[in-house]
Amino acid sequence: MPPHILDGKKIALQKQATMATIIQNYNLQALPPHLAIIQVGDDTASHIYIKNKTKACKKIGIKTTEIYHTHISENKLYKIINELNEDPTIHGIIVQLPLPKNINPENILHKIHPAKDVDGFHFKNYGRLSFKLPTHVPATPLGILEMIHIHKIETKGKHCVIIGNSKIVGAPLGILMQHLQATVTICHIHTNDLTHFTKQADILISAVGKPGLITQKMVKKGVVIFDVGTTFVTDNHTISKYTLKGDVIFEEVSPICSAITPVPGGVGPMTVTALMHNTLRAAQGQVYTLQKNQTKIFKGY
């Protein structure tokens, strides 16, 4: 049987259409959902990600403000975040990662007000996620969870092997997959004999950013694969001069999978859509109770 191609782009477009209708119907236009995106430095991939995020937001009525600095001190960045925290017209704030070496992301990400932390990286939101409390779930894990849900992929008692223990993807996804009653193994850069683990996976999630990492002999027949890898590889045959590559060698691995996400068109569009979902929820005060007529507009923190 050919593998089921998990079409993230199709689901993403459906979700975006639903959100566009909600934004119109809830009469949020008076104060449209508004996402502030901060970028520091000159990471090429970040430029592309931010362009995709702003384009998708605009399409459904989410306003975006981009704040860009090539160089900035931690203190100045903290001041910008504070102003955005205090601004009642801003509902979501993200600081695009990676940050330049002079800035410690741990110092910065936790300065974003938890109610506006639509990336879900603040330790309060991370803690709430661990306890299954309402929170902003990080976008990539949320996008993958939605695909699992929509495609009715069995997780209970299944062995989910995640490659990559980043705070953006691997670590929160590990918690979420345990919530779905999967047995979870998280592999990372220091894991010895990666194949020993990947071969056991009923569900394999690769979030490394190393094209060609996952070959056919590393997986078992019938595995479900989510390829989170997004590496921009130079390609002079395309207009943009780059091609997006996942971690999995799709041509050789997909024939033995029961289901697999393509790159592009798999996890990527779901990640962008999950961020938009979090921003809309923040604007509606769905995670933290909205309190009117206050400079600090959310109660509890």
Residue from 15, 116, 117, 119 carrying the catalytic annotation: 119
Min CB(201)–ligand GUN separation in Å? 23
Structure tokens at 119: 């990336």
Confirm whether 96 is a catalytic residue.
Answer: yes
Query: Which 3 state secondary structure label does DSSP give 127?
Result: helix
Count interface residues toward ligand GUN (CB under 6 A): 8
| Alpha-helical segments (H) within 114-159 | 123-130, 139-150
Burial 217-238 (b: 16+ CB within 10 A, else e): ebbeeebbbbbbbbbeeeeeee
Applying CB under 6 A, does 129 fall inside the site for ligand GUN? no
- Closest contact distance (angstroms) between CB of 268 and ligand GUN is 10
Q: Nearest to residue 35, comparing CAs of 58, 11, 4, 7?
A: 58
Based on the residue annotation, tell me whether 42 is a catalytic residue of this protein. Answer: no
Q: Which of 96, 124, 245, 247 is catalytic?
A: 96
Q: Which amino acid is at 140?
A: T
Counted residue by residue, the chain has a size of 301
Nearest residue to the partner ligand GUN, using Cβ: 97
From 5-13, 93-101, 183-191, 250-258, span contacting ligand GUN (CB under 6 A): 93-101
Question: Residue 4 contacts by C-beta under 8 Å, 6 or more apart in sequence?
Answer: 151, 258, 259, 260
Residue with Cβ nearer ligand GUN (101 or 152) = 101
For ligand GUN, the closer CB: 97 or 201: 97
Q: Does 146 bind ligand GUN (CB under 6 A)?
A: no
Write phi, then psi, for 76 (nearest 5 degrees): -65, -40
Q: Pick from 39, 85, 96, 254 the residue near ligand GUN by CB under 6 A.
A: 96
DSSP string, 239-269: SSSEEEE-SB-HHHHGGG-SEE--SSSSHHH
Cβ-based neighbour number of residue 270 at 10 Å: 28
What is d(CA 155, CA 35) in angstroms, rounded to the nearest whole number? 33
Q: Is 119 a catalytic residue?
A: yes
The catalytic residue among 15, 39, 53, 247 is: 53
CB of 270 to ligand GUN, least distance (A): 11
Stretch that binds ligand GUN, among 21-29, 92-100, 151-159, 257-265 (CB under 6 A): 92-100
Nearer to ligand GUN, 103 or 139 (CB): 139
Closest-CA residue to 169 (of 120, 110, 118): 120
| Interacting positions 212-271 with ligand GUN (CB under 6 A) | none
Comparison of 160 and 207: residue with beta carbon closer to ligand GUN: 207
Q: Does 94 bind ligand GUN (CB under 6 A)?
A: yes
Quick check: 168 binds ligand GUN (CB under 6 A)?
yes
CB of 95: closest distance to ligand GUN in angstroms? Answer: 6
Among 220, 225, 227, 170, CA closest to 3: 225
Question: Footprint of ligand GUN on residues 56-75 (CB under 6 A)?
Answer: none
For residue 119, state whether it binds ligand GUN (rule: CB under 6 A): yes
Q: Is 263 in contact with 206 (CB distance < 8 Å)? A: no
119 or 146: whose CB is closer to ligand GUN?
119
Residues at the interface with ligand GUN (CB under 6 A): 94-97, 119, 139-140, 168
Give catalytic residues, as residue numbers: 53, 96, 119
